[in-house]
Amino acid sequence: MEHSDNTRMNMPPALLNEPDVADSSPAADSIGTAAWIYVVLLVVAGVMFSVGVFLALNKQGWAILAAGCVSIVVVLTAWPIAKAMGETIISQRRRQMDIATMLSERLQQISVLLNVISEQQLLSDRAKQVAFRDKDRDALRRAIKEDLARRDWEAALVLVTDMEQTFGYRQEAVQFREEINNHRQEVVGRSIAEGNQRIDTYCRLEKWTEALREAEQLMQLYPGQGQVDQLPQEIETRRQGTKKQLLDAFNEAVARKDVDGGIEIVKKLDMYLTRQEADSMQEAVRNIFKEKLNQLGTQFTLSVQDQKWHEALRTGEIIIREFPNSGIAREVRERLPLLHQKAGETQEVANV
């Protein structure tokens, strides 16, 4: 391989030359040399022993014989130890050589990988774009779909622009833009329709503040939408229409002297009238309440005369509650103890 050749050229010579036990075993040479030395020493010790024997037999002393015996014992004892140590050294050197060989092979593999990585890094950005074009395009498609699901249409449109300008997929970009716009129009239309339905409910219940609050929320969510921007004016138009209907109904109630109906309409009109409008209607409202008070006073008097004490109590309580500052209310308060007494007596008689 080309990479392998380059690697070997860059490797140190010590790693390229695989160790050989026969060629590079100085320990074995040392052991061989030591063996000859031990042989020589053994011969010397033998000579000393022979001389010592000779001298001892001639009665010339035992010193040389003793030295020869000691030398032979020392040489014979030291030889196995030295041999074992030499074999141990040879074994260690072999293991070291094996490790060096393995490291050399690993370094060669790493060098090959580094050369491959270096070649890949030399690729141009354009080549990388071509190599990973499909993956990048699929990632963009997934991101666009996720933005659509989150209703983040602006972010989706930015990604579509990247797809068109970076990868050149103009037709697919046009399709995505159409899909995004259709999805946005559908979601916005449905949301606005639901908001309009809530606004219509508030208007029918005459809850104008809640209706305006709902319209403001829609305007914040969808600014620039014509049908949303017109909602406050439409709500005010409906409010003015309801106000006109109430005014017309009040005038009709006054014309036909419908006191109860007129009072109910006045209570509803209170939230619609301006200060000037209320002042202009003050006289008509005063008259209708005055007529109501007269009716209640007459009803209370007749109930007392007919000794309908429970009905008189009920009417008197209405007068005190609705017209607390009137003269009739003061008279009713003065007569309440007697009315309660009479009503109690009537109840006892009825129970008997």
Residue 250's closest CA among 260, 239, 241? Answer: 260
- CA angle 226–232–238, rounded 5-degree value: 115
Question: Does residue 10 surpass a pLDDT of 70?
Answer: no
* DSSP 8-state secondary structure symbol assigned to residue 20: -
How far apart, in whole angstroms, are the C-alpha atoms of residue 279 and residue 343? Answer: 43
Q: What pLDDT score does 233 carry?
A: 92
Residue 7's closest CA among 97, 114, 99? Answer: 114
- CA angle 334–335–340, rounded 5-degree value: 125
Query: How many other CB atoms sit within 10 Å of the CB of residue 152?
Result: 12
State pLDDT tens for residues 100-127.
888 888 888 888 888 777 766 655 555 5
Q: What's the predicted TM-score (pTM) here?
A: 0.49
Q: Is residue 79 within 8 Å of 95, Cβ to Cβ?
A: no
How far apart, in whole angstroms, are the C-alpha atoms of residue 153 and residue 268? Answer: 46
| Exposure class string for 99-118: b at 16+ Cβ within 10 A, else e | eeeeebeeebeebbeebeee
How far apart, in whole angstroms, are the C-alpha atoms of residue 47 and residue 53? Answer: 10
Q: What pLDDT score does 7 carry?
A: 38
Q: What pLDDT score does 8 carry?
A: 40
State pLDDT tens for residues 145-186.
888 888 787 888 888 888 788 777 788 888 888 888 888 888
Any alpha helices (H) in the chain, and if so which ranges? 2-10, 13-16, 26-57, 63-121, 125-131, 133-149, 153-162, 170-204, 208-221, 226-229, 231-255, 259-269, 275-305, 309-322, 327-351
* Averaged pLDDT, 334-351: 75
Q: What pLDDT score does 172 carry?
A: 82
Question: Does residue 20 surpass a pLDDT of 90?
Answer: no
Question: Does residue 87 surpass a pLDDT of 80?
Answer: no
- Chain mean position to CA 128: 32
Residue 24 banded pLDDT, cuts 50, 70, 90: very low
Q: What pLDDT score does 350 carry?
A: 60
Q: Is residue 167 within 8 Å of 136, Cβ to Cβ?
A: yes
* DSSP 8-state secondary structure symbol assigned to residue 325: T
Percent of the chain with pLDDT over 90: 9
Question: Does residue 331 surpass a pLDDT of 90?
Answer: no
Residue 319's closest CA among 304, 76, 152? Answer: 304
Question: Does residue 214 surpass a pLDDT of 80?
Answer: yes
How far apart, in whole angstroms, are the C-alpha atoms of residue 151 and residue 156? Answer: 9
